């Protein structure tokens, strides 16, 4: 009567063993962590046996310490860039028909549109036709049949806007590019396991464990490293001095109060860099060496050949890093930037140059820094609470249900192991609320067993013999166990779906805890009871 | 001798003091709404935007001096609270400094943080900054929205499940019990002005999950007894079911509370608000499944006479009965 087939028994205990094996590495956390790091770097490491699972539960930022940032990508910046690039194209196209349309000027407008005026109103129709001819069809899936720009005419004025389909395509491209650049910049600094995720349409979530402050991360990713090499026209007194078209005044980084009058058209820009490395100049000061691609090298070579003896400026993000005088023709396309750098600054600058410019500005919506000590304190407190809580629950169960309580306690301990095994298997992140979720699960996990045991007590009063009572107890408690746990599982799903960060970690442990506790209550405890029953064959039982 | 929280074969009439129990809950719920409207909730930066800095120092904390040091920075609304925890020794003093969102800026300027840290270091050279968290008004607005959505969504999804598995009267009973539990928890947080942030929303959802778990166990027994005793009055069936499951209800609440109290005392101050909410919720949740959900079912009545209207259902139940 009271029987579980051998096949089922094997399956149950195999699951337990596998689950516990998966959980085991977490008991030797730092050892396995160093082992995994060593393997990741291609080293041979024998500090942890290779046949054992080595997956670990990831610790969330609130436990490990680190920085969390939520940034919004200002994709509209890119619209402006596109419009700026469209202007010469429109101008040149219209210039070809100067007889009909007259002269073309760009009018002031919103940054994401382009308004041009032609001097011959009579040629407006022709101008409209020419500019519309510049529109390109969009190849994206959603934008089939539409073109990238929309042109409207109003007398001598032509207004050019990006089409909605093109804006979507641009947004998507900008996000991909931003994600990639952020990822590369953070990887270059070499922190372990950063999280860089797209959230929604225009947001990026960045989590970097182990850094001292969110500001450090912002410094690495937020800087739009726009490097240009511009001809120097002369000096200037301040940025408010009058300048003629095509010129600009930029301050010097190293000597405050020094300003340079520069030609806005760069000789070469950072996009043509192929490599940048921290290095040292001949005087042993920190510097950054760089190399251009073929076209950049040619432009740079031609310019240095023609302008020997003249100064040129190395401009980073609208500040002049240095303005050396060209000593000789530099043909190979490689050079060195010197300035008053520290070694760390030169390293960061090299990283920024190598990763390229962010296509759009980032606006930080949320930032959190958690100190590593606070995280460690939380882990210690959580461990202590979990241990004390478990001892209390185990004692309580044993006092209430005796031997059956002892079975339930074994199942409870297995259950804890399975939660960690599951978390390691899923590569889920354990957060502080997640630890609370585990402790809560300890309290709630016994529920399924309690339901069964209480039912067995009831059935003992009426049923014929203990075996039948146990069987009926499991059978009749099942619907309550399933219904009550499905509802809790629903809330865990909603928490996971709606929540973020720590809350999501809580949802994962809660949901996993429900599943493992049903498994241990229905299968593991039952299996223990069946084995015990077959061995002792008791005439009466007390639950 | 075994420990028995509840003696076998209790025959408590749970409707005996319905005026006190159910009426008391209604009064408490109304009071919670009043507290919520009168005091409002002490929203954390998750929902209000702003910046929180957690400071730790070996010296004792002089909140007045902290406030005076931050005064010249013109940060607007500044709240400084000292944090206590049994785990802290005498040389560990923790405070939380919260400032409102600055102007229209989404996240706080690094200069502001640096200025605050410098001002606090001037007061107490030993101070360290354990965490700095900043949330912009844009995100906090969205977080409120999704928080409300998730609580409402969870209750909705559960009610649909109960409705599918039981009769609609049970679903109504469940939803009233859930609103009761969530309402009383929010009321307590308004009354005590405990920080209300995202973690508390997670706690509310946990309460919802736990409370419904308890309610479902009682309902499951009601469903079973309805089939077993076809002519017993509904009120007696509800009482019988509550008595039969009482031992289990107390056991599970007991073990859960044991674990939670360990966490409340030893789990550290960072999650204390969260654990406190869940602990309170377990108590009201247990209460509501015994005293609220069933009363609603009794008020609405349950269709008993399936045999004449819907033979299909009877077939299903008869099968269980036959064993």
Inter-chain touch A433–B213, beta carbons under 8 Å: no
Residues 220-279, chain B: which have Cβ within 8 Å of A?
220-221, 224, 244-245, 247-248, 251-252, 254-263, 265-268, 270-271, 274-275, 278
Inter-chain touch A447–B213, beta carbons under 8 Å: yes
Domain span including residue B164: 18-42+140-321
If you average pLDDT over residues A8-23, what whole number do you get? 92
- The residue written with tokens 């789990």 in the block is B267
Residue A328 CA to residue A305 CA, distance in Å, equals 7
Residue A35 CA to residue A48 CA, distance in Å, equals 6
B1 touches chain A (CB under 8 A): no
Which of B135, B160, B183 finishes a domain? Answer: B135
Residue A207 CA to residue A191 CA, distance in Å, equals 11
Q: Residue B309's pLDDT is what?
A: 47
Both tokens of residue A51? Answer: 């046949």
Nearest CA distance, B191 vs chain A (angstrom): 24
Q: pLDDT of A257-293, one tens digit each? A: 788 888 877 888 777 777 777 888 888 888 888 888 7
Is the separation of the CB atoms in B277 and B190 below 8 Å? no
Residues 423-462, chain A: which have Cβ within 8 Å of B?
432-433, 435-436, 439-440, 442-444, 446-447, 450-451, 454, 457-458
Considering the domain architecture, whether residues B275 and B294 belong to the same structural domain is answered as yes
A204 touches chain B (CB under 8 A): no
Considering the domain architecture, whether residues B208 and B265 belong to the same structural domain is answered as yes
Nearest CA distance, B93 vs chain A (angstrom): 13
Considering the domain architecture, whether residues B243 and B299 belong to the same structural domain is answered as yes
Which of B96, B115, B135 finishes a domain? Answer: B135
A88 touches chain B (CB under 8 A): no
- The residue written with tokens 């003896």 in the block is A309
- Closest chain A residue to B130 measured between Cα atoms? A371
In angstroms, the Cα distances linking A55 to A37, A435, B76, B281 are: 12, 18, 48, 35
Considering the domain architecture, whether residues B149 and B264 belong to the same structural domain is answered as yes
Residues 117-136, chain B: which have Cβ within 8 Å of A?
128-136
Chain A contacts of B266, Cβ < 8 Å?
Answer: 381, 384-385, 388
If you average pLDDT over residues A88-111, what whole number do you get? 83
Q: pLDDT of A122-159, one tens digit each? A: 888 888 888 888 888 776 656 566 788 888 888 888 89
- The residue written with tokens 């045991």 in the block is A453
Considering the domain architecture, whether residues B234 and B281 belong to the same structural domain is answered as yes
The C-alpha angle B181, A483, B301, rounded to 5 degrees, equals 65
| CATH code of the domain covering residue B207 | 1.20.1640.10
B299 touches chain A (CB under 8 A): no
E-assigned strand segments in chain B = 42-43, 50-57, 78-83, 93-99, 128-135, 195-196
Nearest CA distance, B197 vs chain A (angstrom): 11
Considering the domain architecture, whether residues B163 and B258 belong to the same structural domain is answered as yes
- The residue written with tokens 């609603």 in the block is B296
Inter-chain touch B134–A368, beta carbons under 8 Å: yes
Nearest CA distance, B281 vs chain A (angstrom): 13
Cα torsion for A142, A144, A148, A151, to the nearest 10°?
Answer: -120
Nearest to B244 by CA among B213, B223, B265: B223
Tell me, yes or no, whether B6 lies in a domain. no
CATH number of this structure's domain A6-23+372-536, picked from the four choices 3.40.50.720, 1.20.1640.10, 3.40.50.1970, 3.40.630.30: 1.20.1640.10
Considering the domain architecture, whether residues B167 and B253 belong to the same structural domain is answered as yes
Nearest CA distance, B90 vs chain A (angstrom): 16
| CATH code of the domain covering residue B61 | 3.30.70.2040
Cα torsion for A249, A252, A258, A259, to the nearest 10°?
Answer: -10
Point out the residue among B56, B139, B147 whose CB comes nearest to the CB of A70.
Answer: B139
In angstroms, the Cα distances linking B117 to A148, A251, A352, A365, B120 are: 50, 30, 29, 21, 5
Considering the domain architecture, whether residues B105 and B38 belong to the same structural domain is answered as no
Nearest CA distance, A254 vs chain B (angstrom): 21
A419 touches chain B (CB under 8 A): no
- Choice among A203-212, A349-358, A374-383, B119-128 with the minimum mean pLDDT: A349-358
Point out the residue among B130, B138, B161 whose CB comes nearest to the CB of A371.
Answer: B130
- Closest chain A residue to B50 measured between Cα atoms? A366
Point out the residue among A384, A483, A510 whose CB comes nearest to the CB of B266.
Answer: A384
Which of B135, B160, B191 finishes a domain? Answer: B135
Inter-chain touch B220–A483, beta carbons under 8 Å: yes
The model's pTM is 0.79
Nearest CA distance, B139 vs chain A (angstrom): 6
A377 touches chain B (CB under 8 A): yes
* Residues 6+ positions from B195 with CB-CB distance below 8 Å: B42, B43, B44, B273
CATH class (in words) of the domain with range A175-367: alpha beta
Nearest to A411 by CA among A298, A527, A271: A527
Q: Which of A396, A439, A468 best probes binding to B when mutated, by most B CB atoms within 10 angstroms? A: A439
Q: Which of B117, B204, B209 best probes binding to A when mutated, by most A CB atoms within 10 angstroms? A: B209
Considering the domain architecture, whether residues B107 and B148 belong to the same structural domain is answered as no
A385 touches chain B (CB under 8 A): yes
Residue A167 CA to residue A151 CA, distance in Å, equals 15
Inter-chain touch A495–B216, beta carbons under 8 Å: no
Considering the domain architecture, whether residues B58 and B171 belong to the same structural domain is answered as no
- Closest chain B residue to A394 measured between Cα atoms? B255
Considering the domain architecture, whether residues B208 and B65 belong to the same structural domain is answered as no
B201 touches chain A (CB under 8 A): yes
Q: Residue B55's pLDDT is what?
A: 92
Both tokens of residue B178? Answer: 């859930």
Nearest to A304 by CA among A326, A280, A275: A326
Considering the domain architecture, whether residues B164 and B268 belong to the same structural domain is answered as yes
Residue B317 CA to residue B315 CA, distance in Å, equals 6
All residue ranges of chain B with pLDDT < 70 are 1, 305-323
Tell me, yes or no, whether B298 lies in a domain. yes
Inter-chain touch A510–B257, beta carbons under 8 Å: no
Nearest CA distance, B85 vs chain A (angstrom): 11
Q: How many domains does chain B have?
A: 2
Max distance between CA atoms of chain B, in angstroms, equals 83
Q: Residue A300's pLDDT is what?
A: 86
Q: Residue A147's pLDDT is what?
A: 81
Tell me, yes or no, whether B7 lies in a domain. no
Which ranges in A190-213 belong to alpha helices (H)?
none
A72 touches chain B (CB under 8 A): yes
Inter-chain touch B259–A490, beta carbons under 8 Å: no
Tell me, yes or no, whether B4 lies in a domain. no
Chain A contacts of B136, Cβ < 8 Å?
Answer: 364-366
Q: Residue A498's pLDDT is what?
A: 78
Run of H or E residues at A232: strand A227-236
Is the separation of the CB atoms in A126 and A97 below 8 Å? yes
Beta-carbon pairs below 8 A across chains A and B: 233
What are the extents of the domains in chain A?
Answer: 6-23+372-536, 76-168, 175-367
């Amino acid at each position: 009567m009271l029987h579980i087939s051998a096949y089922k028994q094997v399956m149950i205990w195999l699951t337990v063993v596998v689950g516990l094996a998966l959980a085991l590495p977490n008991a030797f956390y730092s050892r396995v962590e160093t082992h995994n790091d060593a393997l990741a770097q291609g080293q041979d490491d024998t500090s942890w046996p290779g046949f054992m699972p080595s997956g670990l539960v990831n610790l969330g930022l609130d436990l490990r310490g680190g920085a969390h940032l939520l940034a919004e990508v200002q994709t509209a910046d890119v619209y402006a860039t596109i419009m700026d690039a469209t202007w010469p194209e429109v101008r040149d196209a219209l210039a070809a028909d100067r007889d009909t349309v007259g002269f073309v000027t760009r009018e002031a407008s919103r940054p994401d549109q382009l308004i041009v005026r032609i001097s011959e109103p009579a040629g407006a129709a022709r101008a409209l036709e020419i500019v519309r001819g510049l529109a390109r069809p969009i190849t994206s899936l959603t934008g089939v049949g539409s073109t990238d720009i929309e042109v409207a005419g109003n007398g001598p004025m032509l207004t050019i806007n990006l089409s909605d389909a093109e804006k979507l395509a641009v947004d998507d491209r900008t996000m991909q590019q931003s994600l990639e650049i952020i990822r590369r910049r953070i990887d270059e600094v070499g922190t372990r396991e950063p999280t860089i995720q797209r959230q929604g349409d225009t947001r990026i979530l960045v989590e970097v464990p182990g850094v001292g402050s969110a500001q450090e991360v912002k410094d690495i990713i937020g800087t739009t490293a726009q490097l240009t090499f511009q001809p120097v026209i002369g000096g200037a007194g301040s940025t408010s001095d009058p300048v003629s078209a095509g010129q600009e005044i930029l301050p010097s980084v190293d000597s405050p109060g020094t300003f340079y009058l520069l030609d806005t058209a760069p000789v070469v820009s950072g996009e043509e860099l192929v490599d940048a490395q921290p290095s040292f100049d001949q005087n042993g000061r920190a510097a950054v060496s760089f190399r251009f691609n073929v076209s950049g090298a040619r432009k740079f070579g031609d310019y240095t050949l023609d302008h020997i003896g003249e100064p040129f400026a190395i401009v980073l993000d609208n500040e002049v890093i240095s303005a050396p005088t060209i000593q000789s023709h530099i043909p190979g396309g490689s050079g060195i930037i010197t300035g008053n750098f520290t070694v760390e600054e030169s390293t960061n600058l090299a990283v920024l140059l190598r990763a390229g410019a962010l296509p759009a500005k980032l606006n930080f919506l949320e930032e959190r820094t958690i100190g590593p000590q606070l995280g460690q304190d939380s882990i210690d407190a959580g461990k202590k609470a979990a241990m004390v809580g478990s001892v209390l629950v185990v004692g309580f169960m044993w006092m209430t249900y005796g031997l059956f309580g002892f079975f339930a306690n074994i199942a409870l301990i297995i259950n804890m192991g399975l939660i960690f095994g599951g978390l390691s298997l899923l590569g889920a992140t354990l957060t502080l609320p997640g630890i609370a979720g585990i402790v809560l699960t300890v309290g709630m996990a016994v529920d399924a067993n309690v339901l069964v045991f209480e039912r067995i007590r009831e059935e003992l009063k009426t049923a014929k013999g203990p075996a039948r009572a146990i069987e009926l107890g499991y059978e009749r408690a099942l619907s309550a166990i399933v219904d009550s746990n499905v509802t809790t599982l629903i809330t865990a799903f909603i928490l996971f779906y709606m929540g973020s960060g720590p809350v999501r970690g809580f949802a994962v442990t809660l949901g996993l805890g429900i599943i493992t506790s049903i498994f241990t209550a229905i299968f593991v405890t039952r299996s223990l009871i069946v084995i015990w029953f077959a061995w002792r064959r008791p005439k009466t039982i007390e639950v | 001798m075994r420990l028995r929280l509840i003696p076998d074969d209790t025959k408590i009439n749970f409707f005996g003091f319905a005026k006190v129990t159910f009426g008391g809950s209604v009064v408490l719920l109304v009071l919670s709404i009043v507290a919520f409207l009168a005091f409002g909730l002490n929203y954390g930066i998750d929902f209000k935007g702003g910046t929180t800095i957690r400071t730790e120092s070996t010296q004792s904390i002089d909140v007045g001096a902290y406030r005076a040091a931050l005064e010249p920075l013109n940060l607007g609304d500044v709240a400084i609270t000292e944090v206590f925890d049994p785990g802290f020794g005498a040389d560990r003093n923790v405070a939380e400094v919260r400032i409102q969102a600055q102007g229209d800026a989404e996240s706080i300027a690094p200069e502001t943080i640096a200025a605050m840290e410098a001002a606090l270091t001037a007061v107490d050279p030993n101070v360290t900054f354990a965490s700095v968290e900043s949330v912009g008004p844009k995100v906090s607005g969205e977080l409120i929205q999704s928080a409300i959505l998730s609580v409402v969504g969870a209750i909705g999804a559960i009610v649909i499940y109960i409705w599918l598995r039981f009769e609609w009267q049970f679903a109504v009973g469940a939803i009233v019990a859930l609103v009761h539990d969530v309402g009383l928890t929010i009321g307590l947080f308004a009354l005590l002005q405990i920080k209300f942030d995202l973690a508390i929303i997670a706690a509310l959802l946990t309460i919802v999950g736990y409370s419904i778990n308890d309610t479902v166990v009682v309902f499951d027994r009601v469903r079973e007894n309805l089939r077993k005793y076809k002519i017993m009055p509904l009120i007696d069936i509800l009482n019988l079911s509550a008595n039969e499951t009482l031992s289990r209800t107390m056991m599970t609440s007991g073990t859960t509370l044991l674990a939670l109290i360990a966490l409340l005392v030893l789990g550290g101050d960072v999650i204390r608000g969260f654990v406190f909410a869940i602990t309170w919720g377990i108590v009201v949740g247990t209460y509501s499944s015994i005293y609220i959900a069933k009363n609603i079912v009794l008020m609405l009545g349950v269709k008993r006479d399936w045999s004449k209207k819907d033979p299909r259902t009877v077939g299903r139940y008869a099968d269980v009965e036959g064993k």
